[in-house]
Amino acid sequence: MDRLSGSEVKNLLRERKLVLILDLDHTLINSTRLHDISAAEMDLGIQSAASKNDPDRSLFTLQGMCMLTKLRPFVRKFLEEASNMFEMYIYTMGFKAYAIEIAKLLDPGNVYFDSKVISNSDCTQQHQKGLDVVPGADSLAVVLDDTEYVWQKHKENLILMERYHYFAASCRHSGQSLSELMQDERESDGALATILDVLKRIHTIFFDLVIKRMRQEVLQGCKLVFSRVFPSDCRPQHQIMWKMAEQLGAVCCSEVDPSVTHVVAVHAGTEKARWAVKHKKFLLHPRWIEACNYRWHRQPEEDFPVPGLKEDKGKEKVAEIAHL
């Protein structure tokens, strides 16, 4: 919480968004060079399948790079839903040109990533990825990557992904590939669908905590006493106004003492109200608490006077003059 500063971070929090750093290879996609296509894959027509003009296809040819790329099942839905909760970055140890081409496949409408594509040329430490290249990410980032050792300085931000091996060249030491088996991860309960549920929980928990912390700072340092605000036959601790003040960070009590900073009343004629005036404490109307709650900021006390206060002061002045 202490690191949540700076305009970028504040803008993200205002939009209820965190930062999501996404690795490419073996996390969102799997790529292979054309000359690494196995004989079995060639017999299955995998290269021709990548050349079909089908808007829903997940297999693509990167002509200028002589590569095939397979999108991981559920990736499009994953990005769509994650974009509502996160500002997303691509972060790969690959070359910039390759990263940009893959970004075009994942985000053809340039809706999710825009220019937020980080490659090996952007890294500040050789063979390592770091959050120093993403503004505000140190305190707000979740990282999805299949390789742990490249995140030596930010392991606490990392969610380690199950590696996606679709092509034969990608799993030479682990039997047949998904492509050769003519299989794939299921969209409904594959790695990305599972991780999306985790990200939703992270987002909810984070903002629940942030909201609670921010609300508690509104009236932090205030000690309140209520004077005839609640019905006499009710426990004040159970009343909405009392609970609201506590949620805003105030300390509420039933009796006055020197540590009390505010007396909340609906009329200035009560004993506690007069005590507040005598001891130069804030005397204000309950609407002050409501206003603080609506605006998430401590409101000027003088804007919420208690009825009868001026008249009482006038009477005290007249009595003082008469005594003289």
Tell me: do 119 and 258 sit in the same domain.
Answer: no
- Pick the last residue of a domain from 161, 182, 211: 211
Tell me: do 150 and 41 sit in the same domain.
Answer: yes
Query: What's the pTM value of the predicted model, to 2 decimals?
Result: 0.76
**What mean pLDDT do residues 168-176 have?**
81
Tell me: do 16 and 145 sit in the same domain.
Answer: yes
**What mean pLDDT do residues 292-300 have?**
94
Tell me: do 178 and 128 sit in the same domain.
Answer: yes
Confidence of residue 11 (pLDDT cuts 50, 70, 90): confident
pLDDT digits (tens, 9 = 90+) for 192-250: 999 999 999 999 999 998 889 889 999 999 999 999 999 989 999 999 999 999 999 99
β-pairing verdict for 251-253 and 86-91: unpaired
**pLDDT at residue number 2:** 47
| More confident call, 297 vs 322 | 297
- Pick the last residue of a domain from 211, 239, 268: 211
Tell me: do 151 and 63 sit in the same domain.
Answer: yes
**pLDDT at residue number 310:** 60
**Backbone angle region of 16, left / alpha / beta, with phi > 0 → left and psi within -120 to 50 → alpha:** left
**What mean pLDDT do residues 35-58 have?**
88
**Element (DSSP H or E) covering residue 251:** strand 251-253
In total, how many domains does the chain have? 2
> Residue 188 and residue 116: Cα distance in Å, rounded?
28
User: Which structural domain range is residue 129 located in?
Assistant: 6-211
**What mean pLDDT do residues 293-315 have?**
81
